[in-house]
C-alpha cells in the first residue's frame, strides 16, 4: 500500500519490497545505504505536490485562535515507536548499513559536504537544474583510511511522508511518515562529484567524532517524523516562518552545528539547500486525531480533511490522475487553503500567492560569527 512507487533503479533493485528493519531502542542508529533520491524526491506525487492547497475556510472549527509563538517548535519524542506493517516501502530502507564505529581519540577525521541531484542515478543532473538536491555528510579516518557516509531520509518514500492513506477501516487518515538516519561504509565519489558536491568542510578528532555519534543516537531516537513543508508568510527574506521542514538537509545542518559546538572550525565555502515552501496567512489550529476523528470529534472538519487528501491517493488510473489534478487546482488555487499535518496535529493554512515554491538558498556553515539555529 505504499503511496510512492518509485520506478527508478536503486541499490536494492531485485529485492522483495518489505517493511524496513526497526531497531531496538538500545541500537546505536539505523543502518543505511546510498539512496540520494529519497530526499526531496521525484515521485509521481510530486506533480500533485506542486499543485496542492484547498477547502472552505468556514470548516476551520469554532475555537478562537490562540496567541502562538512561530515557528511552531518541532516535537521530539521519548523514543521511536515501531512502524505499522501496513507501511511498506518500494525499496527497503537502509539494507546494507553498519553501526557507527568508535574512533580512537587521536584519530584525525576529515568531514565532507555531500550533495547531489535527487534521483541522480537515473536522471543525471536533470533535477539539479531545478535545484532539487539531496544532502549527506562524509567522514574519512586518517588512521584506518576508511570512509563513511551518513544521511537522513524517509522510511517509506516522500509521498507517504507528505500525504496519508485513507483506509476504509479507519476514520482518520493513516500516516507512514517516519524518517531516520543512515550510516554506511564508503563514499560514492563518482555519485557525489559528477553532478553535485564533495568538498572538505572541516577536520575533527576521534574524540569529537565519538561525541557526535552519541548525539546522533539521541537525535535519531527523538526526532522521528519527516516534515516535507516549510511554511512561510511570504517569499520575503524576513517573512514569518510558521513551520520548519524536517528532512535530509535539516539533519545535515544539525550535524554541522553539533560539530561546531564540539569545537570544529569550518572552512569558508558557500552552502545552499533545497526547500519546498508553502506561502500562507496565519495558520489555524484544528486539533489532533482524537479531537477531530474521535467519537466526540468534529465530523465536519473530519470530512473536509479526508476530502482534501483524497485526490492524492496512490494507485490512480491515468483518467483518475488528471481528474484529481483538476480537483487539487480547484481546492488549492481557487479556495486558497491547505490542510497541514505537523507534530501529529492538523492545521488549516489560508494559502496565498505564490502558493508553493522550490527554493535553493544559502545557509552558511557554522563559525564564530554565524551560528545556525534550527530544529
Give residue 87's Cα distance to chain centre.
17
94 vs 20, 35, 171, 232, CA distance in Å?
8, 8, 32, 32
Residue closest to 191 by CA, chosen among 134, 145, 272, 237: 134
Annotated catalytic, 12?
A: no
Catalytically annotated residue among 12, 94, 248, 336: 248
315 is catalytic: no
The catalytic position among 43, 134, 165, 191 is 134
Please give the Cα distance from 305 to 368 (Å, whole number).
46
Residues annotated as catalytic are 134, 248
Amino acid at each position: 500500500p505504499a503511496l510512492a512507487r518509485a520506478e527508478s533503479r536503486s541499490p536494492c533493485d531485485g529485492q522483495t519490497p518489505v517493511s524496513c528493519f526497526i531497531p531496538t531502542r538500545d541500537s546505536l542508529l539505523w543502518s543505511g545505504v546510498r539512496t540520494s533520491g529519497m530526499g526531496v524526491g521525484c515521485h509521481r506525487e510530486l506533480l500533485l505536490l506542486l499543485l496542492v492547497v484547498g477547502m472552505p475556510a468556514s470548516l476551520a472549527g469554532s475555537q478562537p485562535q490562540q496567541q502562538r509563538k512561530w515557528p511552531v517548535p518541532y516535537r521530539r519524542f521519548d523514543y521511536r515507536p515501531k512502524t505499522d506493517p501496513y507501511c511498506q516501502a518500494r525499496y527497503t530502507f537502509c539494507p546494507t548499513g553498519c553501526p557507527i564505529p568508535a574512533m580512537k581519540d587521536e584519530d584525525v577525521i576529515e568531514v565532507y559536504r555531500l550533495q547531489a541531484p535527487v534521483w541522480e542515478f537515473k536522471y543525471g543532473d536533470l533535477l539539479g537544474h531545478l535545484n532539487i538536491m539531496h544532502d549527506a555528510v562524509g567522514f574519512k579516518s586518517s588512521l584506518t583510511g576508511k570512509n563513511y557516509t551518513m544521511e537522513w531520509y524517509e522510511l517509506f518514500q516522500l509521498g507517504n511522508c507528505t500525504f496519508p492513506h485513507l483506509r476504509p477501516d479507519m476514520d482518520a487518515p493513516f500516516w507512514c511518515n517516519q524518517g531516520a538516519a543512515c550510516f554506511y561504509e564508503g563514499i560514492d565519489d563518482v555519485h557525489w562529484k559528477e553532478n553535485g558536491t564533495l568538498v572538505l568542510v572541516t577536520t575533527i578528532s576521534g574524540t569529537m567524532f565519538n561525541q557526535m555519534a552519541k548525539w546522533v543516537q539521541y537525535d535519531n531516537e527523538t526526532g522521528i517524523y519527516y516534515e516535507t513543508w516549510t511554511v512561510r508568510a511570504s517569499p520575503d527574506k524576513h517573512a514569518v516562518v510558521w513551520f520548519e521542514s524536517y528532512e535530509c538537509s535539516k539533519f545535515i545542518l544539525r550535524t554541522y552545528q553539533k560539530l561546531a559546538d564540539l569545537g570544529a572550525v569550518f572552512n569558508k565555502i558557500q552552502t545552499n539547500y533545497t526547500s519546498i515552501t508553502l506561502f500562507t496567512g496565519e495558520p489555524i489550529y484544528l486539533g489532533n486525531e482524537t479531537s477531530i476523528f474521535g467519537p466526540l470529534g468534529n465530523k465536519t472538519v473530519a470530512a473536509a480533511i479526508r476530502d482534501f487528501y483524497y485526490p492524492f491517493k496512490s494507485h490512480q488510473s491515468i483518467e483518475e490522475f488528471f481528474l484529481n489534478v483538476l480537483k487539487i487546482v480547484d481546492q488549492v488555487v481557487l479556495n486558497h487553503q491547505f490542510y497541514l499535518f505537523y507534530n501529529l496535529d492538523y492545521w488549516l493554512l489560508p494559502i496565498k500567492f505564490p502558493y508553493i515554491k522550490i527554493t535553493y538558498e544559502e545557509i552558511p556553515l557554522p563559525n564564530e560569527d554565524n551560528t545556525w539555529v534550527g530544529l
